[in-house]
Structure 1
Amino acid sequence: MTANTPQHVVFDIGRVLIHYDPHIPFRDIIPDDAERDFFLGEVCSHEWNLEQDRGRSWADAEAEAIARHPDRAEQIRAFRRNWHRMVPHAYEESVAIMLGLIDAGVDVTLLTNFASDTFREAQQRFAFLTVPRGVTVSGEIGQIKPDRAIYDTHVGSFGLDPARTLFIDDAEKNVEGARAAGWQAVHFTSPQALAASLKELGLPVAS
């Protein structure tokens, strides 16, 4: 352990601890590749879904999308109804790393862009999401990564020292947002690469 070894480790959730892919159910709902790409790129897009992560209700989200594409109302409503299929499994190796840190006495929390209702659903399905000391859910506080405010809120909520806090996220912009807030950060690409990065920082990772 060195002077720079983090005291606090903060995990993102989607595509770090659990898999997320809206194409999974929509391959059945919209079998044509080009049409499905249009739907998920323009109708119920990542940007559209991000507003639910910011706190917009699903009813308002559906109404907004249906106003733009009234001919696709049923497909739009199918997005929330099929959300559970978009998160089919956990990344077991990543989960093992997180639980290993907790078992070794490292302070672990979660910071996620997630709608409030789908996060609670995820917690019911994936019990390991209840193990860390706590979580900041963007949809519950109306703040979202990579905006500075959510990192500062998390620090204040959990009494963290930003300089001794390590953030792990699959999105480069969120990693950069954490660094801009004075945190250390690792861009998640694989459990193996994460384990190597944690070891370099002096954190306990099982071989």
Structure 2
Amino acid sequence: MKRLTPVFDFGGVLFDWHPPSLLRRELPQRAFDADSAAHWVEQVFQGYGGDWGAFDRGAVDVAELVPRIARRTGLAEHEVQAIVDGVPRELQPLPGSVALLRRLRDAGAPLYFLSNMPAPYADHLEAQHDFVGWFRDGVFSARVQAVKPERAIFDLAAARFGIAPAELLFFDDVLANVQAAQAAGWQAVHFTGVDAAEAALRAHGLWSS
């Protein structure tokens, strides 16, 4: 059996990403409990479609995004700007996931990533976290103008990596993205935690100890 090559999502897999916490921290006057936080998460992020989806795709920059969200939601521009500026504080490394990544690197596994990520945050993560340099290559959505779960980004990533889709093992915390990867011919696992991810890696022969 040919050894598979692991590919990791970033938000929710290698980095913490919990939008209700982000909203409660940055807009406590509006997102003051679970229900109000959930409301504003939906209003701002729209399930990562709409305005924020365009930001993920690299179709709009911050200067355009902020007034668009403000007009649509009724938030003040300074409130939207606070959310945008607060995202890097939310994207903190998950220690268990980074330890798993380190073990894969030390075992000689080539590492790749595929992440929906607006350009400013991609730049920030590369600059601030040395372990991002452990990856041989990766795809950030904003840099290729395509987003998960679209088929195009999976085809583009496999071609860029130079690896057959069936030989890629993708970890993503969003089930729709896992299913899209599988439809594109990838092996894919719904990331629910480090222990389950390690079990999947073992099952696919990435290490035995």
Q: TM-score, structure 2 length as denominator?
A: 0.88
- The answer for the alignment partner of 2:206 in structure 1 is 203
Preserved CA contact (<8 Å) 1:168 1:186: yes
After superposition, the Cα gap between the structure-2 partners of 1:193 and 1:44, relative to the gap in structure 1 and judged at 3 Å, is closer
After superposition, the Cα gap between the structure-2 partners of 1:44 and 1:190, relative to the gap in structure 1 and judged at 3 Å, is closer
> Is 1:20 paired with 2:17?
yes
- The answer for the alignment partner of 1:154 in structure 2 is 157
Residue in structure 2 matching 1:60, options 56, 61, 64: 64
- The answer for the alignment partner of 1:74 in structure 2 is 78
- The answer for the alignment partner of 2:44 in structure 1 is 43
Preserved CA contact (<8 Å) 1:171 1:187: yes
Task: Supply the distance in 2 between the matched residues of 1:186 and 1:170 (Cα, whole angstroms).
Answer: 8
How much does 1:205 deviate? Answer: 6.0
After superposition, the Cα gap between the structure-2 partners of 1:75 and 1:198, relative to the gap in structure 1 and judged at 3 Å, is same
Identical counterparts, % of pairs: 30
- The answer for the alignment partner of 2:108 in structure 1 is 105
For 1:64, give the aligned amino acid. Answer: R
Task: Supply the distance in 2 between the matched residues of 1:131 and 1:35 (Cα, whole angstroms).
Answer: 39
- The answer for the alignment partner of 1:176 in structure 2 is 179
Task: Supply the distance in 1 between the matched residues of 2:44 and 2:113 (Cα, whole angstroms).
Answer: 30
How much does 1:107 deviate? Answer: 1.7
Preserved CA contact (<8 Å) 1:16 1:94: yes
For 2:40, give the aligned amino acid. Answer: F
SS in 2 for 1:10: strand
For 2:151, give the aligned amino acid. Answer: R
How much does 1:41 deviate? Answer: 1.4
- Give the number of the structure with larger relative contact order, counting CA–CA contacts within 8 Å between residues 6 or more apart: 1
Preserved CA contact (<8 Å) 1:179 1:185: yes
Deviates more, 1:71-80 or 1:191-200: 71-80
After superposition, the Cα gap between the structure-2 partners of 1:50 and 1:71, relative to the gap in structure 1 and judged at 3 Å, is closer
Preserved CA contact (<8 Å) 2:43 2:73: no
Structure 2, unmatched stretches of 5+, are none
For 1:194, give the aligned amino acid. Answer: A
> Is 1:144 paired with 2:109?
no
Matched positions, count: 202
SS in 2 for 1:107: coil
Structure 1, unmatched stretches of 5+, are none
Superimposed CA distance per residue, residues 154-199 of structure 1 (whole angstroms, 9 cap, x where no aligned partner) = 1111101111111111111111111111111111001001111111
> Is 1:9 paired with 2:12?
no
- The answer for the alignment partner of 2:121 in structure 1 is 118
How much does 1:102 deviate? Answer: 2.1
Task: Supply the distance in 1 between the matched residues of 2:153 and 2:68 (Cα, whole angstroms).
Answer: 26
Preserved CA contact (<8 Å) 1:101 1:205: no
Preserved CA contact (<8 Å) 1:136 1:154: yes
Q: TM-score, structure 1 length as denominator?
A: 0.89
> Is 1:129 paired with 2:132?
yes
